[in-house]
């Protein structure tokens, strides 16, 4: 295979994985899993941007978008999971009564 064709194949693999990660993050109903997938999406996005000769932006996305944004959302997902647990516990109580 010639070099442009190889590069095109590489581009297509990069983009397919990116879209698949985004789709998985959007479709996952479980908050913690969704956040994990979102972090993976952000890191992959920064990889794609490095391929597009944007290393400054790739660094910022990896550190701020995926890293700090992910940390913030993980804390929120933990809270959401705990609230959901409390909710089901309460519903079970109501059912028993």
Nearer to other proteins, 56 or 93 (CB): 56
Residues found near other proteins in the complex (CB under 8 A): 7-8, 11-12, 15, 18-19, 22-23, 25-27, 29, 31, 34-35, 38, 41-42, 45, 48-49, 52-57, 59-61, 63-65, 67-69, 71-73, 75-77, 79-80, 82-83
Residue-wise DSSP of the chain: --HHHHHHHHHHHHHHHHHHHHHHHHH--SHHHHHHHHHHHHHHHHHHHHHTT-HHHHHHIIIIIIIIHHHHHHHHHHHHHHHHHHHHHHHHHHHH-
Rounded Cα distance between 45 and 89, Å, is 39
Nearer to other proteins, 72 or 92 (CB): 72
Nearer to other proteins, 76 or 92 (CB): 76
Residue 97 beta carbon to other proteins: minimum distance, rounded to whole angstroms:
14
């Amino acid at each position: 295979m010639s070099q442009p064709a190889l590069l095109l194949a590489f581009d297509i693999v990069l983009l397919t994985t990116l879209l698949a990660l985004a789709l998985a993050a959007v479709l996952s109903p479980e908050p913690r899993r969704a956040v994990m997938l979102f972090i993976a999406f952000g890191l992959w996005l920064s990889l794609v941007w490095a391929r597009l000769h944007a290393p400054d932006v790739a660094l910022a996305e990896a550190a701020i978008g995926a890293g700090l944004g992910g940390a913030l959302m993980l804390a929120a997902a933990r809270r959401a999971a705990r609230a959901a647990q409390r909710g089901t516990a309460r519903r079970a109580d109501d059912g028993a009564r």
